[in-house]
Chain A
């Protein structure tokens, strides 16, 4: 066998494996989407395509609609907290030295690295200990503990994203601005902020999607009002119907949309430089 012949054989094998892995990753998602158009109530082989009625069921399911509203509120508040704490946190890590800096950095990142369940039970013991009821704030918010929990756990996302951008930032622009007698606030507003704008937006989008999908922390902190994943979780335990597939399909489509927007923001050369 010639070297090139052997090379082809190897390459072909590699492609085959790669495609198989791709199928393994996507086939289950495709299955979920297809079965949302399944005609029967019972999810079984063979697939009978051709109805949109499960989307209608979803629309009239009051529990589901309430869960979606609760999840959206929760995600928005999580974004506010995560940005509010994470952006100053990223600046702190980028520009200041202080005793305990390494510890702070590690602590901030812990919720990302540890299994969510550990963060979840820790926060549960904390809120119970200080006596804040899990349903506090309901119906205005799904519950302050879960809001604080999501926000705090996702600070890590904002810190990593914004810190990475700050590290690449051209500091001379800020110095030039200060040399031109702009004060710290004006420099921040007119020079620094435009430079990190896309990173902020990207981080906000990330926090939003991650909060919408979060289960481990939510599971322990949720009060009376279910979030979307927990509502689905409840449906799954009562036996599965294509209604779950319908909501899953919607989540899938929305997530992909958000990712595409996020990817554009992150790779937007205008945003990185302007």
Chain B
């Protein structure tokens, strides 16, 4: 046997190479930076927020590291806090429903009716998401203001004699602006799901003499539910956490949003433990909602793995293009 011996372990191998040769060490090496970073700058901060909610302020307004449920007790026994959370949830619900009503027909149109320039039109709907959030909120100040465009136009048409004052600086302004901001957002996952419906399903339904409404009700609508759920969850969560639009457009109603409460507790009111407790309750609501929505999406998604892949893609897209 004259087979050449295997090359001897290279003397030039560095300790790093030797480390990399062991699978577990390799994984640890690959994980070190991302996991370390995320733990330090995300996990610890979220944890610290939770911890703050169990601390308290002393009489000199400094934070004492002493475990107590005082903030939560105050949160649930003072009427204004639960009322604020409920009010925000109601505003967020209105925004979600309005966004759905606006987004669904447009998504349907884009997915099934538009033939030419389809991608271009879809992009056109999505583009506003990328345009400064502040610009979009501010636009409504120009439109709804006392001397704004809407009042001006209505007066010119002779429909009103006095400017309508309830338009701006009210919850209506907040709802309209948030609906405007989050409609493209709601549309994205709905469009993604509708797009993925194979035309053969529609044809099959029509071959079985189902009418258009029946096809819509029994084929299109059930299949679109995961997208509808994803879209509405995001609209709800984001509008509930919004504090810019309420401050800009809400007037006296603005203090009634939970996120504005958090802003003031971490700012002028300076009560971080209470602010943290309010944030934690908000966080709990949001996480519960997301979990329920996820479960439901999985239930409605009958296509198994492929369908789920489509869903996560849509979510990734939504999630990526969302932040404002």
Interface positions of A (Cβ within 8 A of B): 7, 10-11, 14-15, 17-18, 21-22, 24-26, 28-29, 31-32, 35, 42-47, 84-86, 88-89, 91-92, 95-98, 100, 104, 107-119, 121-126, 129, 148-149, 152-157, 160-161, 164, 184, 206, 209-210, 213-216, 219-220, 229, 232-233, 236, 240, 244, 248, 251-252, 255-256, 258-259, 263, 267
Contacts and interface: CB of A to CB of B under 8 A. Distances in A.
B75 interface: no
Interface stretch (B78-86, B132-140, B218-226, B298-306): B132-140
Interface in B90-147: 102-103, 105-106, 108-110, 113, 119, 123-125, 127-128, 130-136, 138-143, 145, 147
B320 A117 contact: no
B290 interface: yes
Interface in B9-44: 20, 26-27, 30-31, 33-35, 37-38, 41-44
Given A18-B110, A86-B34, A256-B127, 5 more contacts: A24-B102, A26-B128, A98-B31, A107-B42, A122-B46
Interface residues on B, range: 35 or more
B212 A10 contact: yes
Per DSSP, chain A at the interface is: helix
B266 to A, nearest CB: 6
A91 B26 CA distance: 12
Contacts of A15: 109, 113
A5 B324 CA distance: 44
A104 B35 contact: yes
A267 B147 CA distance: 45
A21 B241 contact: no
A25 B279 CA distance: 31
A215 B45 contact: no
Nearest to B323: A210
B282 A152 contact: no
Contacts of A153: 323
B70 interface: no
A108 B123 contact: no
A44 B147 contact: yes
Nearest to B290: A113
A125 B276 contact: yes
Given A18-B109, A21-B102, A45-B153, A92 B48 contact: no
B240 A112 contact: no
Contacts of A21: 102-103, 105-106, 183
